[in-house]
Amino acid sequence: MTRRHAHGGAASTPTRARWTWLGVSAGVLGIVATMFTSPNVGSDQVGPEAIDRLSRGQLQLGGALGYATVALLLVLAASWRAKALTTTRGAVAARVVADGLTASAAALSLGYGWKLALALYMPGGLNENGFTTDGQFVYFMLNDFGPFIGYLGVVVAAGAVAWLSLRDRLVSRWLGLVSLIPPVAVLFMSGVLSIAGFPGIVGPIWLIVAFAGLSLDRHGILGTAKA
């Protein structure tokens, strides 16, 4: 696919998409907000006493960066809808990409919101007397997998990109193979090991790799492939 000048109709060199770097940014922020600020106290048989071992500042930072990640995912989904070329053979899968990103943004609004709520109610927070330690522990439990589960929509989007590549030939083959990894890995980890939060491990990493690849390589779905 090539773009043509409106005045002459002559073919021009395809330009690379720049909006795709939003996906890279969302992946980087997602890793920091999810993995590096997770309220892990590093012990078994965790109870309400674990609240005293948490870093409120770390939780607050994670929640704030998480909200920024949500905003980036929403803009990324809208940009995909507006700028990704949806041909007849790739229309459904292309829409699934945008819908998956939007679904993750919705779920992560809750996941990162619970992280901010924990920072709000734990000792040192603005409403530290709002809940007892047992009440604060409820928010701690929600944070165990909350932000991680929210990336399931991103994993579904990865599967759709794999389809666009391997079935519809609208994305480069290497990116299609890479995009198969998240859904297969999540299916194994959930179906065999009952691990609910694995989407939060592979989802942000896939965002970085996939959207960097969409930015730097040429793809039919974006109108950047050579004629």
Q: Which of 16-30, 34-48, 134-148 has the lowest mean pLDDT?
A: 34-48
Q: Give residue 145's pLDDT.
A: 87
- Neighbouring residues of 178: CB distance < 8 A, sequence distance ≥ 6: 206, 209, 210, 213
Residue 4 · residue 11 · CB < 8 Å: yes
For the CA atoms of 33, 39, 44, 48, what is the dihedral angle to 10 degrees? -150
The Cα 69–Cα 26 span in angstroms is 5
Sorting pLDDT into bands at 50, 70 and 90, what band is 7?
very low
Residue with tokens 């734990």: 122
**pLDDT per position as a tens digit, 70-103:** 999 999 999 999 888 766 667 899 999 999 999 9
Beta strands in the chain (DSSP E): 3-4, 11-12
**Which two tokens mark 120?**
């709000």
**Which two tokens mark 4?**
């043509």
Backbone phi, then psi, for 9, in 5-degree steps? 75, 5
How is residue 89 annotated by DSSP? G
The Cα 224–Cα 226 span in angstroms is 7
Q: Give residue 88's pLDDT.
A: 63
The Cα 6–Cα 75 span in angstroms is 28
Residue 3's DSSP bridge partners are 12
Q: Which range has the top average pLDDT, 79-88, 158-167, 210-219?
A: 158-167
Q: Give residue 84's pLDDT.
A: 83
Sorting pLDDT into bands at 50, 70 and 90, what band is 168?
confident
Orientation of helix 133-149 relative to helix 199-216, angle to 10°: 40
**Which two tokens mark 180?**
């198969």
Of residues 129 and 65, more confidence is placed in: 65
Sorting pLDDT into bands at 50, 70 and 90, what band is 170?
confident
Give the mean pLDDT of 38-46.
69
* pLDDT beyond 80 at 16: no
**Domain edges within the chain:** 17-222
Prediction pTM value: 0.87
- Neighbouring residues of 137: CB distance < 8 A, sequence distance ≥ 6: 47, 48, 50, 51
DSSP SS3 for 12? strand
Average model confidence (pLDDT) for the chain?
Answer: 86
